[in-house]
Chain A
Amino acid sequence: MSVLIGFLFMAAVYLMLSKSLLRIIIGTAVLSHGAHLLILTMGGLGGRKPPVVAEGVTVADYADPLPQALILTAIVISFAVTSFFLVLAYRAYQELGTDNVNLMRGTEDYD
C-alpha cells in the first residue's frame, strides 16, 4: 500500500507542477486520494470484519473504525473544495481566456 500511495503522491506532484489548470486540479484529486489511502493504511490493515456490531464476531476481528470516520470526513471536505475549484477554474477560463497558469501572472496593478 505504501508504494502505491507513494506513486499517487508522485503523480500528484508531477501533475500539479504542469502548466494546464485542469491537470493541476486532477493532481489535487490524486493527492487527496493518496492522503485518504494513507489514513487507511496508517490505521493498520488488520481486522477481517467491517466495524459493525454483529452476531458471532469478537472485538479482535473488527477493523479499526476510527480511520474510516476520518476518511469519510476528509472525502467530503475534498469533494467540496474540488467542486469549488473546478467552478473557479471554469470562471477563470471565461474571464481570463486561458487555462495556462504561466499566463496568469499578476502584473497590471503590481509594482
Chain B
Amino acid sequence: MINLPLIPLLIPMLFAVILLFFPKRIILQRAVATGALALTVLASFWLIYEVYTGGILAVTLGSWPAPFGITLVSDLFSALLVSTSSIITLFVVLYSFESIRKEREKFYYYPGVLFLLTGVNGAFTTGDIFNLFVFVEVLLMASYLLIVLGGEKAQLRESIKYILVNVISSALFVSAVAYLYSVTGTLSMADLAVKIPQIEAVGILTVIAVLFLVVFGFKGAIFPLYFWLPGSYHAPPMPVLALFGALLTKVGVYAIIRTYTLFFTMNTGYTHELLSIVALLTIAAGCIGALAYFDVKKIIVYNIIIAVGVILFGAAQLTEAGIDGAIFYLIHDMMIKAALFFLVGIVAILFGTSDLRKMGGLMKTRPALGWFYLIAAFGLAGIPPLSGFPGKLLIVQGGFEDLKLWGSLFVLASSLLVLMSVIRIFLYAFWGDPVETVKIKEPVFRRMFYPAAGMVILTIVLGAGAEWFMPLISGAGEVLLNPSFYIDAVLKE
C-alpha cells in the first residue's frame, strides 16, 4: 500500500477531531483514545515491516513530482521512531486514566495528546523542511495546551516562559528556512541533499547549518539552550511530563541527526566538531543538574538533557558504530524516560510530594514498585543486560574509532553520575524508615502501576533482545550514512 507512511499521522488526527465532539463523556474519550493509539501502533509496526522488506517508502502528496510537491518519506529510522512514539503515547494514555484529574480530562486532554502525536509522527516522517516546521508547530501548539491545562499558578508561570522560548525558536526556524531557500532555491530535503554539494559557497552553508543547530537545539535542549527545560518540565502533571520528556526533545534531536547526516555534510570538520563539543557540554550541564537537586522530577528532567548529549555525541561521529549507537540510544531513551517518569510519578503521588527528603521506606509497602524502579534505573545507566547498554557501547566504540578518546571517556564517566543520581532516588524513597504515605485505593494504584511496569518490561525486551532489533537499527544507520539511498528513493532517478 503506497500511502502507508501517512497512516500513523492520519489515525491520531482523525480520532482527535472525533474526540472534540463529546468532551464531557470521559469513559468514551478514554476508550476512543486508547483504540486510536492501538491502531496507530499496529499501523506503525506494519510500516516498519514494509520498509524493512521493501526499502524506503516515499509518498508524494497530490502526485506532484518529487522536488515540487511535498514528499513524506519513511526510512527505517523514521519508522522506528514513529513506532516508539506511538507506543509511548499509548502507555501515557493508559497511565493518565488515574493520574490526570477528571476536570482535565473533560477539557480536551485526549485530543491534545492525539494532536501532539500527529505532530511528532509528522515531524519524523516528513521530507520537506518547511513541512517539518509546520509539524513542529502542530506538536508545539498541542504541547502549549497540555502544559497549561489545569491552570495552576506554577503551570501558568512556566508555560509563559515555555511559549516565549518556542516562539523565538520558531521565528529563527522560519529565518533559517528563508536563508536556505535563498541559497539553494528548494525546500525538499532530498533535493537539498543534491543541491548543497554543488554549491561552492561553503561559508554561508556552514552559517546556515549552525543556525539550524541553534533552532533544533532550542527544541532539543542542548547545552547553552537548555535553560528553559527544567522549569517548564517541572510544572505540568506527570503523564504530560512523561509525554514531553519522551517525545518533544527527541524531535529536535531527530531533526539535528537528519539534517546533519543528509545535507549539512559540506564542512564536517567544523560543524560536526562543534556538534560533538556542544554534546559533551550538554552532558556536563545535565550531570551537574541531576546531582544538584533533591526533587525527583528535576533529577529525571536533567537526565533528559544528559541523554540528548549522549545521542548527539554519537551522531556527530559519522561512523557506523556512532550512528547505530545514537539510533539505539535514542529509542532506548524515549522508552526509559517514559518508564522513569511513570514510576517517579507514582512515588510522588504516594508521598504527596516530590521532595526526596520527605520520603522513605517504600520498599516495605510497595516492593514491586521498588524492584521495577531499580531495573529502570539500571537500564538508564546502561548495566549490560538492559537497554541502555548496547547503544552506549556503540557510541563509545564509535568515539574510539573516530579518535575522540576523551569524549568517549567522558560519556563513560557520565554514566556513573547518571547511576548515582537515580540510585539516590532509590536510597531516599525506597530504603530507610517508612514515612506515612497518602492512602490510595489498591485498584487505582494498580491502574497506574501496570502501564509503568509494562513500559519497564518493554525496555528489558529492547535490551535483552538487542540482537533482534540490531538489523533494524543498522538498516536505519545505513540510510543515514549513505544519503544517496534517501535521494534515490525520493527523486526516483
Measuring CB to CB, which residues of chain A are less than 8 angstroms from any residue of chain B? 16, 21, 24, 28, 31-32, 34-36, 38-39, 41-44, 66-67, 70, 73-74, 77-78, 80-81, 84-85, 88-89, 91-92, 95-96, 101, 104, 106, 108-111
Contacts and interface: CB of A to CB of B under 8 A. Distances in A.
Contacts of B158: 106
B148 interface: yes
Given A88-B163, A95-B153, A106-B231, A35 B130 contact: no
Contacts of B98: none
Interface centre among B144, B148, B156, B294, by most chain A C-beta atoms within 10 angstroms, is: B156
Nearest to B164: A24
B117 to A, nearest CB: 19
11 contacts: A32-B167, A38-B174, A39-B174, A43-B181, A43-B182, A67-B181, A78-B167, A78-B170, A92-B156, A92-B160, A106-B234
Given A31-B167, A38-B175, A111 B148 contact: no
Question: How large, as a class, is the contact surface on chain B?
Answer: 35 or more
Dominant SS among interface residues on chain A: helix
Contacts of A36: 174
B134 A32 contact: no
Nearest 9 A/B pairs, CB to CB: A42-B182, A42-B178, A35-B174, A39-B178, A35-B171, A92-B156, A31-B171, A28-B167, A104-B157
Contacts of B171: 28, 31-32, 34-35, 78
B151 A91 contact: yes
A106 B355 CA distance: 15
Contact of A95 (B137, B156, B231, B294): B156
Interface in B322-356: 354-355
Contacts of A84: 141, 144, 163
Nearest to B154: A106
A31 to B, nearest CB: 5
Contacts of B133: 74
Contacts of A66: 181, 187
B154 A88 contact: no
Nearest to A87: B148
Contacts of A42: 178-179, 181-182
B160 A88 contact: yes
Contact of A77 (B134, B151, B355): B134
Nearest to B138: A77
A84 B307 CA distance: 31
A43 B159 CA distance: 34
Contacts of B250: none
Contacts of A38: 174-175, 178
A34 B235 CA distance: 32
A99 to B, nearest CB: 10
A29 to B, nearest CB: 10
A92 B168 contact: no
B141 A81 contact: yes
B434 to A, nearest CB: 23
B164 A28 contact: yes
Given A16-B168, A88-B160, 16 more contacts: A31-B168, A31-B171, A32-B171, A35-B171, A38-B174, A39-B178, A41-B178, A78-B167, A81-B167, A81-B170, A84-B163, A95-B151, A104-B160, A106-B157, A106-B234, A109-B154
Contacts of A31: 167-168, 171
A21 B134 contact: no
A70 B177 contact: yes
Given A84-B141, A95-B151, A106-B234, A89 B174 contact: no
Contacts of B141: 80-81, 84
A81 B130 CA distance: 17
B208 to A, nearest CB: 11
**From A16, A44, A80, A111, residue with most partner B Cβ within 10 Å:** A111
A84 to B, nearest CB: 6
A67 B158 CA distance: 34
A85 B159 CA distance: 9
Contacts of A85: 160, 163-164, 167
B298 interface: yes
Contacts of B130: 70, 73
Contacts of A88: 144, 148, 156, 159-160, 163
B163 A81 contact: yes
A66 to B, nearest CB: 8
Contacts of A39: 174, 177-178, 181
A32 B169 CA distance: 11
